Amino acid sequence: MKPKIPIQGFLLSRYAYPTTASPLICAHRRYATTSSKLSAPSPPGQRWWLRLTLITVTAAGIGAYARWVQDSSSGSTTLNPVRFTPYSLVSREPVSSTGSIFTLKPPKPDVSNLEVYEAAQQAGVWSVMFKQPQLQIGRDYTPLPPVPPDAGEECLRFFIRKDPFGEVSRYLHSLNIGAPIEVRGPRIECEIPPETQTVLFIAGGTGIAPALQAGHTLLRRTDQIHRPTIHILWATRQREDCRGGYNEPTSATLSDARRPWLSRVFGSSRAAAAPPTETRTSSDMSPIVREIEALKSQYPGQVSVEYFVDEENTFIGKRSILDFTTSTVSSPELSKRNMILVSGPEGFISYMAGPKQWAEGMELQGPLQGIIRELHLQDWAVWKL
Ligand SMILES: Cc1cc2nc3c(=O)[nH]c(=O)nc-3n(C[C@H](O)[C@H](O)[C@H](O)COP(=O)(O)OP(=O)(O)OC[C@H]3O[C@@H](n4cnc5c(N)ncnc54)[C@H](O)[C@@H]3O)c2cc1C
């Protein structure tokens, strides 16, 4: 289980912010003096300059402090990784009985927010932290990619699962519309290098949010020469979580005879069967499935999704992974271009790729284990989110 992280001291103890967020973080460098004693008294001209420098530095310090105090008391309007910014809850749209899409808006219009989101979105998968003010604890959440109606409005949207025993998710689901929610970030969870061509995203539950983010980051790099692709394996507990989602006729639905030989060796549950396509309308789809479909229409042929539903006894297994990886061109020199990302509850990540590890207050990737390791895949970089 993830340790509870008190708000104070979080920045120093839990994660080092990656350099990609650097526009938001000022590097403070302190120079050490070489000696506390000067070997000879400075000449009068030098002392005058020293005094002037001291006064200037002190004045600048007081100015900066005053600005900081003013900023802190008025509340920052731009999302930043150092201080919490008071957003407010604009809407909460149910996706299923266990999860909703939350839309949050910043305290006042501030175009700098768009620049902050854009920088993070270009880099890869990113998250922000929400504060639970009564308990003074924070939890990370992944913004969904922007959709056209929200563009320019600086709103952030999140798909949040309600854990009946979870402190922060329960708190968030109990808030009234208009309630304040303090947010800090962004933090880049995983950079998607520019040379990446293929992503296999293995998502459990709300892990679909970073999958959509990864899709947007990757696919917006499409040009005349590059046509990156993303294949998402999404496992949910109930059908209602992915209502209206259907499995395309990928290799997973081909006859066994046409299946890559290796995948035939590993038996695993097949993805949920496709409902008749012609009967599907957008109102039949859960909001998340609608977003997946929108991404598919925006980038035809570059996005594919397979759905797995616990209550229908369909699970992501070795075969689902191999069906995709064996159909992808790979070679050692292409290894930087193929990524497997795994996101979801801790148990899900452990099963797929082994647990992440904590060391010296930081969460680390830990060794590759789980079923992905057993597949001995060559030329794929694996990242646990
Ligand atoms: C980078 C990142 C991005 C994320 N993005 C999202 C997202 O977009 N959407 C989303 O819904 N979630 C996301 N999460 C998960 C999220 O941060 C929270 O972990 C989740 O909402 C649960 O938090 P909570 O405070 O409600 O539950 P917690 O209070 O942390 O409890 C979690 C579970 O542990 C159990 N538990 C608590 N204490 C104990 C104990 N002492 N012994 C045994 N069991 C215990 C609880 O019963 C509960 O079932 C993300 C996590 C990370 C790290």
Task: At 376, list the tokens.
Answer: 């001995």
Q: How confident is the model at residue 282 (pLDDT cuts 50, 70, 90)?
A: confident
The answer to whether residue 306 scores a pLDDT higher than 80 is yes
Tokens 């899900």 label which residue? 348
Q: List, for residues 85-129, the tens digit of each pLDDT value.
A: 999 999 999 999 999 999 999 998 888 999 999 999 999 999 999
The answer to whether residue 63 scores a pLDDT higher than 60 is no
The answer to whether residue 11 scores a pLDDT higher than 90 is no
Q: Quick count: other Cβ atoms within 10 Å of Cβ 143?
A: 25
Tokens 């081909």 label which residue? 254
Cis peptide before 186 (omega within 30 of 0): yes
Q: In testing the pocket of ligand 1, which one of 139, 157, 184, 383 has its CB within 8 Å of the most ligand atoms?
A: 139
Ranked by mean pLDDT, the top range of 35-39, 273-277, 314-318 is 314-318
- Mean pLDDT, the chain, integer: 79
For position 27, what pLDDT does the model report? Answer: 26
Whether 159 lines ligand 1, by a CB cut-off of 6 Å, is yes
- Count of all residues that appear for the chain in the document: 385
As a whole number, mean pLDDT of residues 159-186 equals 96
As a whole number, mean pLDDT of residues 286-314 equals 96
The answer to whether residue 221 scores a pLDDT higher than 60 is yes
As a whole number, mean pLDDT of residues 340-366 equals 95
Rounded distance between C-alpha atoms, residue 32 and residue 281, angstroms: 66
Residue nearest to atom 51 of ligand 1 (CA): 140
The answer to whether residue 261 scores a pLDDT higher than 50 is no
Question: Ligand 1 center to residue 168 CA distance, Å?
Answer: 8
Pick the atom of ligand 1 nearest to 168's CA. 25
The answer to whether residue 191 scores a pLDDT higher than 90 is yes
Q: List, for residues 15-57, the tens digit of each pLDDT value.
A: 222 222 232 222 222 222 223 333 334 444 555 555 555 555 4
Task: At 347, list the tokens.
Answer: 């148990």
Q: List, for residues 204-220, the tens digit of each pLDDT value.
A: 999 999 999 999 999 99
Report yes or no: 156 and 213 within 8 Å, Cβ to Cβ.
Answer: no
> What domains can be seen in the chain, in order of their start residue?
10-22+78-189 (2.40.30.10), 192-384 (3.40.50.80)
Nearest to 192 by CA among 234, 226, 157, 150: 226
Rounded distance between C-alpha atoms, residue 23 and residue 188, angstroms: 13
Question: Ligand 1 center to residue 166 CA distance, Å?
Answer: 6
Rounded distance between C-alpha atoms, residue 41 and residue 43, angstroms: 7
% of the chain surpassing 70 pLDDT? 69
Tokens 């594919």 label which residue? 304
In the Cβ-directed half-sphere of 140, how many Cα atoms lie within 13 Å?
25
Report yes or no: 122 and 59 within 8 Å, Cβ to Cβ.
Answer: no
Query: E-assigned strands of the chain?
Result: 85-96, 99-105, 124-132, 137-141, 156-161, 180-191, 198-204, 229-236, 303-309, 338-343, 357-359, 362-364, 381-384
The answer to whether residue 138 scores a pLDDT higher than 90 is yes
For position 335, what pLDDT does the model report? Answer: 59
Residue nearest to atom 19 of ligand 1 (CA): 139
For position 273, what pLDDT does the model report? Answer: 52
Whether 240 lines ligand 1, by a CB cut-off of 6 Å, is no
Residue nearest to atom 9 of ligand 1 (CA): 160
% of the chain surpassing 90 pLDDT? 61
Q: In testing the pocket of ligand 1, which one of 169, 343, 346 has its CB within 8 Å of the most ligand atoms?
A: 169
Task: At 159, list the tokens.
Answer: 């798909």
